[in-house]
Amino acid sequence: MAKILRINMADLTAKYEDVPEKYKYLGGRGLTSSIIYDEVDPTCHPLGPHNKVVFAPGILSGTNAPTSGRVSVGAKSPLTGTIKESNAGSAWPQRLARLGIKALIIEGQPKEPGKFWLIYINKDGVKFEPADEYVGKGLYEVYPKLFERFGKKVSIASIGVAGEYKMAMAGVCFEDREGRPSRYSGRGGLGAVLGSKGVKFIVVDDEGGPGVEIVNKELFEQGRKKLTEALRSHDVTKPKGGLNTYGTAILVNIINEAGGFPTRNFREGRFEGAAKISGEAIFENNKKRLGKELYNHACHPGCIIQCSNTYYDENGNEIVSCIEYETTWAVGANCGIDDLEAVAKLTWLCNDLGLDTIETGGTIAVAMEAGLLEFGDAEGAIRLLDEEIRKGTPLGRILGNGAAVTGKVFGVVRVPAVKGQNMPAYEPRAIKGIGVTYATSTMGADHTSGYTIAPEILGVGGKVDPFAIEKAELSRNFQVTTAFIDSTGHCLFIAFAILDIPSGFEGMVEECNGVLGTNWTTEDVTRIGMEILRKEREFNEKAGFTKADDRLPEFMKYEPLPPHNVVWDVPDEELDKVYAF
């Protein structure tokens, strides 16, 4: 039977607990948000002793369900002050699940301030080791040493120096299939919370573990085949399809053409250098430099979408993996930078330091707005990360706490944030539905909370006018479904296929029924998703958030966005409808 593993950093103890009945059918985000809702005081300081960090593999993580190696990390966010779930793809949650661990709860704080620990988990239990020799070092230097020490068949969760400094844009890092420190639960500053607990690394070794129990193997296999077939046939997710060929950065030219590609701190919706930093540019540069077409790879075992790219220099040497759409936008167009080499270097630095690339790019853009750098100054942006943030200078501490804090310190009005979190790579003035999601998400400005880009721009799941302002129902439906998908352990990118192919949607539900022994239907997806959102919403309300916090920045209401010259004109009444259930 699966257990909950509870680790207290105050006295370095670990205990296994039976899973309460109320958590029996939960996983991923559903479980992290439920535990935070039940155990964390919404008014607590995010970096204080009463916050907790919860790691939960998805319902299907650790099985051979396709593309199901996602982990949810939950806590009260130091960036937003809200409840937070941030997830990543890695072998780490698969190994944790195969050890029979349904959730890992980290609580308490070390009695010795500034002390960091390595936690080692295997079938025999938990060990604590001082992590002093690794503190202050980059993750690219440290990860190979850890794999040499513990062997190649372990997985690592960690924080970088940004988490050690408890910076609010610090993420939680996991290794990819090649052992790179490159897969991030990036958003919301959860790396800072882990740093406040004195946790530097969590190494998981699943050798000899009991594996994941599957109650109805025949039903699980039926669902697995349905979803696999849907993913392998959809143009976006199939082998050598859009994502496998160009990665998530395939969106650069698409969103730029739509006039919704935020440029120079959301001043414009179209970037003249977009083609230079696009997925197509990455693919063609690699082809020229390597002399062959290079398709993308999986971030975790069992992923059949395989959208993670690798970028190489002129000599055919790897610079970094992976440059996501959000990253090439954040440290590229949003900062006025159209040099892929600089984008790759900035991506590498974020990975090395343990930073969320979206918040980092947003923060650099706000710093440029403030006059610290000129837009387009790639070398200056690199210096801010490599010198100020890495060394924890006073300026580095300001920047490390995100775009909203940086804007406040330097008196910047144009700060594109909601609930303290910088917006991702879609301009809400030009794509209204995603703006509704930014405004009303329980997580702050977060595109993955309700990805209305699918119908508004890509025509997936139907076609919707991006300029139409009646988007409450659309955003709500996407937020509800996303909450469920985030609980399964599946990558959110399965949504492309299951929105268009009903049998794929059925397959996802059947997989869950096969593992859990439940009798869910596709209608239960809505019910379960709403239950998760209600808990998250109630947590935030108890933390002091109101409808007034579900709003976009004022400047978007009066600054027309080129090239369409549109403003944010969705009425507050429409925003308030999203959670009127």
Tokens representing residue 294 in the block? 């290079």
Host domain of residue 318: 248-295+308-425
Question: Would 144 be classed as within a structural domain?
Answer: yes
Residues 404 and 448 in one domain: no
Residues 314 and 436 in one domain: no
Residues 471 and 443 in one domain: yes
Q: Are 570 and 471 in contact (CB under 8 A)?
A: yes
Backbone angles phi, psi at 131, to 5 degrees: -110, 20
DSSP 338-358: --HHHHHHHHHHHHHHTB-HH
CA dist 139 and 119 (Å) reads: 17
Residues 284 and 414 in one domain: yes
Q: At what angle do helices 340-353 and 139-150 cross, to 10 degrees?
A: 50
Each residue's pLDDT tens digit, 568-580: 999 999 999 999 9
Tokens representing residue 388 in the block? 């100020």
CA dist 135 and 115 (Å) reads: 9
Question: Would 302 be classed as within a structural domain?
Answer: no
Q: Given a cut of 80, is residue 198 above it in pLDDT?
A: yes
- The CATH number of whichever domain residue 127 belongs to comes to 3.60.9.10
Question: Would 239 be classed as within a structural domain?
Answer: no
Indicate the residue among 425, 447, 475 that finishes a domain: 425
What integer pLDDT is reported at residue 1 of this predicted model?
84
Question: Would 215 be classed as within a structural domain?
Answer: no
The mean per-residue pLDDT over the stretch 273-292 comes to: 96
Backbone angles phi, psi at 288, to 5 degrees: -70, -40
Residues 145 and 34 in one domain: yes
What integer pLDDT is reported at residue 103 of this predicted model?
98
Tokens representing residue 172 in the block? 């939680």
Question: Would 209 be classed as within a structural domain?
Answer: no
Backbone angles phi, psi at 469, to 5 degrees: -95, -10
Strand (E) or helix (H) holding 509: helix 502-516
What integer pLDDT is reported at residue 496 of this predicted model?
94
Give residues with Cβ within 8 angstroms of 483, minimum separation 6: 29, 30, 528, 529, 530, 532, 533
* Alpha-carbon Rg for the chain in angstroms: 22
What integer pLDDT is reported at residue 112 of this predicted model?
87
Residues 338 and 442 in one domain: no
CA dist 326 and 268 (Å) reads: 17
DSSP code for 277: G
What integer pLDDT is reported at residue 311 of this predicted model?
96
- The CATH number of whichever domain residue 523 belongs to comes to 1.10.599.10
Residues 550 and 467 in one domain: yes
For the chain, helix, strand, coil in percent to 5 are 45, 15, 40
Q: Are 513 and 225 in contact (CB under 8 A)?
A: no
The mean per-residue pLDDT over the stretch 399-403 comes to: 98
Indicate the residue among 390, 425, 460 that finishes a domain: 425
Residues 267 and 133 in one domain: no
Answer whether the bond into residue 350 is a cis peptide, omega within 30°. Answer: no
Q: Are 70 and 174 in contact (CB under 8 A)?
A: no
Which 3 state secondary structure label does DSSP give 53? strand
CA atoms within 13 A on the CB side of 225: 5
Q: At what angle do helices 340-353 and 279-290 cross, to 10 degrees?
A: 100
CA dist 304 and 295 (Å) reads: 12
Q: At what angle do helices 502-516 and 472-488 cross, to 10 degrees?
A: 40
Answer whether the bond into residue 563 is a cis peptide, omega within 30°. Answer: yes
Question: Would 238 be classed as within a structural domain?
Answer: no
Each residue's pLDDT tens digit, 496-553: 999 999 999 999 999 999 999 999 999 999 999 999 999 999 999 999 999 999 999 9
Backbone angles phi, psi at 9, to 5 degrees: -80, -10
Binned at pLDDT 50, 70 and 90, residue 390 comes out as very high
DSSP 308-341: B--EE-TTS-EEES---HHHHHHTTGGGT---HH
Residues 26 and 101 in one domain: yes
Each residue's pLDDT tens digit, 25-83: 999 999 999 999 999 999 999 999 999 999 999 999 999 999 999 999 999 999 999 99
Question: Would 161 be classed as within a structural domain?
Answer: yes
Parallel/antiparallel/unpaired status of strands 199-204 and 117-122? parallel
Q: Which amino acid is at 510?
A: E
Question: Would 225 be classed as within a structural domain?
Answer: no
CA dist 439 and 320 (Å) reads: 33
DSSP code for 76: E
End-to-end distance of the chain based on CA atoms, in angstroms? Answer: 36
Residues 440 and 331 in one domain: no
Give residues with Cβ within 8 angstroms of 546, minimum separation 6: none
Q: Are 181 and 139 in contact (CB under 8 A)?
A: yes
Residues 47 and 175 in one domain: yes
Residues 13 and 150 in one domain: yes
What integer pLDDT is reported at residue 581 of this predicted model?
76
Q: Are 87 and 102 in contact (CB under 8 A)?
A: no
Parallel/antiparallel/unpaired status of strands 53-57 and 172-175? unpaired
Which 3 state secondary structure label does DSSP give 9? coil
The mean per-residue pLDDT over the stretch 434-452 comes to: 97
Provide the domain count of the chain: 3
Q: Given a cut of 80, is residue 341 above it in pLDDT?
A: yes
Indicate the residue among 425, 443, 463 that finishes a domain: 425
For the chain, give the mean pLDDT: 97
What integer pLDDT is reported at residue 253 of this predicted model?
98
According to DSSP, the residues that pair with 578 across neighbouring strands are none
Each residue's pLDDT tens digit, 107-127: 999 988 889 999 999 999 999
Q: Are 373 and 387 in contact (CB under 8 A)?
A: no
**CA-closest candidate to residue 485, choices 76, 32, 54, 59:** 59
Q: Which amino acid is at 60?
A: L
DSSP code for 38: H
Q: Are 173 and 158 in contact (CB under 8 A)?
A: yes
- The CATH number of whichever domain residue 273 belongs to comes to 1.10.569.10
